[in-house]
Amino acid sequence: MAGRRARLAEEVGDGVLLVPSATTKSIEGDYPQDSDFRQDNNFLYLTGLEVPDSWLVLIAAGGQVRAEILFIPEREPAEEMWTGPKPSFQEASKLSGIVDVRAISDFEETAVESLKQDTGVKAIYAPLNPHSRHDPHIQTLLFEGQAEVLDLEPAFARLRQVKDDFEIEMLRRAIEITDGAHLAALRTARPGMYEYELEAVIEYNFRRGGAERVGFPSIVGAGPNSVVLHYDKSRRRMEEGDLVVMDIGAEYSYYSADVTRTIPVSGAFSARQREIYDLVLGAHEAALAAVKPGNTLMDVERAARVYLQEHGAGKCGAKSCNDQFPHGVSHWLGMDVHDVGDYSVKLQPGMVLTVEPGIYLADEGIGVRVEDDVLVTETGYELLSNAPRDPDEIEALMAEAATVSRR
């Protein structure tokens, strides 16, 4: 974490950096599920701490960390009886590597007050997202402070766009769990089952694998729902002949996977479904071949689109296949499923992206998407997700599972 704080200071140069944690949610007012406190990604990235209602203050000068102070709530035994122990100042210091840990009341009373008045401060940086903009401290500094408050989000985005070894390890774990869930779903799916039953199999496997939560609401859409890009209701009874699109991702240690597979509910693709599936898979392979340092996401996108143009003529109904493919091929992946980062930069080792072409024929109730998570390496790429995507392999595995369950 100290290395990350040093790189942030390097990005910014000079200024006082204020980074808020996530705030405590009301169990009754905010409709949480279970482990519903989720730390702010930027705060976690710099401190490794899951404490709510805290601030990190970092003073950068000449591109170096001159001072860093962590403000966290003091422990309250009466409250901990309900919510469990919170870290002490010593524990927080040890976990984050920040020596100077103080009570959050000091931040409110002294830090903001002195920043409001101190004309010597050249700039104050804070992440200015829709959530943090409404924070009373940020509001005070924005409207009553002497120094200009600048947005820290772009600096975070530049750092988080290139993953360090630890981050890649966490992503591998999230993706491995998600691959396992896909395999379990493929072995379980059959006509007559409801989408929510398949979703339950998936999310059971997430939790069983150690995932804290889903990285995003699971998309399990069969038949006519397979063409709805962000379908998350999961209420359909799946019928013989349906394709089911499963766009899912476990979150492990704050890193999310995002892997999509499309399988035939009855265990075999129809000729027409197979035709569309093969096109999507071809576009997927073409896009992957464009993932290498120096290229951009635009190059990856173009490779998929050129493939569909060259191989899809007359296969996607009245429109062209590219017209039936309304979303982008790639997005960044990390602590956010659509992770932070500039979309125009050249790919470099350590970046992680998705590759996810799809074709959606609403008239025929045929939607196909194949999505994998891809790490950019020195020479090209490494596929991080490995759930079966070859249509013959999918059919063989489903046939095998059907035989086993009949015994």
Q: Which residue is nearest to Mn ion (CB)?
A: 258
Q: What are 304's two structure tokens?
A: 């998929």
- Tokens 């000079």 belong to 14
Footprint (CB under 5 A) of Mn ion, residues 253-292: 258
For residue 203, the minimal CB distance to Mn ion (Å) is: 17
Cβ distance to Mn ion smaller for residue 251 or 258:
258
CA separation for the pair 177, 206 (Å, rounded): 6
Q: Report which of 179, 175, 230, 186 is spatially closest to residue 391, judged by C-alpha positions.
A: 186
In the complex, the smallest distance separating the C-beta of residue 245 from Mn ion, rounded to whole angstroms, is 12
Token pair 């059959």 is found at 190
**Considering the complex, what minimum distance in angstroms separates the CB of residue 209 from Mn ion?**
20
Span of 227-235, 262-270, 351-359, 372-380 interacting with Mn ion by CB under 5 A:
351-359
Shortest Cβ distance from residue 94 to Mn ion (Å)? Answer: 37
Closer to Mn ion at the Cβ: 22 or 370? 370
Nearer CB in complex with Mn ion: 96/330: 330
- Assess contact for 321 and 278: CB atoms under 8 A: no
The CB-of-371 to Mn ion minimum distance in angstroms stands at 5
- Work out whether 301 is an interface residue with Mn ion (CB under 5 A): no
Residue with smaller CB distance to Mn ion, 58 or 337: 337
Closest CA to 251 of 327, 153, 174, 356: 174
7 vs 389, beta carbon nearer Mn ion: 389
Tell me the site size for Mn ion, rule CB under 5 A: 2
Q: Which amino acid is at 343?
A: Y
Residue 7 corresponds to which amino acid?
R
- Contacts of 195-198 spanning 24+ positions with Cβ under 8 A: 195/220, 195/221, 195/222, 195/225, 195/233, 195/234, 195/235, 195/236, 195/238, 195/244, 196/220, 196/234, 196/235, 198/234, 198/238, 198/244, 198/246
- Rounded to a whole number of angstroms, the minimum distance from the CB of residue 222 to Mn ion is 19
Nearer Cβ to Mn ion (262/354): 354
Nearer to Mn ion, 124 or 283 (CB): 283
Report CA torsion sign: 212, 174, 345, 285.
negative
- Taking contact as CB under 5 A, which single stretch among the options 40-48, 221-229, 313-321, 350-358 is the one that binds Mn ion? 350-358
Binding-residue pattern over the window 67 to 106 for Mn ion, x denoting contact by CB under 5 A: ----------------------------------------
- Return the range that interacts with Mn ion (CB under 5 A); candidates 59-67, 232-240, 289-297, 346-354: 346-354
Residue 354 touching Mn ion (CB under 5 A): yes
- Report in angstroms how near the CB of residue 368 gets to Mn ion at its nearest: 15
Instruction: Supply 299's token pair.
Output: 């190059």
Cα–Cα distance between 348 and 351 in angstroms, integer? 6
Q: Tell the burial category of 229 from Cβ atoms under 10 Å away from its Cβ (0-12, 13-18, 19+).
A: middle
**Closest approach of Cβ 302 to Mn ion, in Å?**
18
Residue 132 in contact with Mn ion, rule: CB under 5 A: no
Task: Give the containing element (helix H, strand E) for 10.
Answer: helix 2-12
The nearest distance, CB 354 to Mn ion, in angstroms, is 4
Instruction: Give whichever of 54 and 354 is closer to Mn ion, judged by the CB atom.
Output: 354
- Stretch near Mn ion under the rule CB under 5 A, chosen from 65-73, 195-203, 348-356, 398-406: 348-356
257, 285, 315 from 344: Cα distances, Å = 22, 22, 32
Which residue, 41 or 132, has its beta carbon nearer to Mn ion? 41
Q: How far apart are CA 15 and CA 31, in angstroms?
A: 38
Give min distance, CB of 328 to Mn ion, in A: 9
Of 392, 398, 373, 395, whose CA–CA distance to 384 is shortest? 373
- Which residue's CB is nearer to Mn ion, number 39 or number 354? 354
AA letter at 289:
A
The contact set with Mn ion (CB under 5 A) reads 258, 354
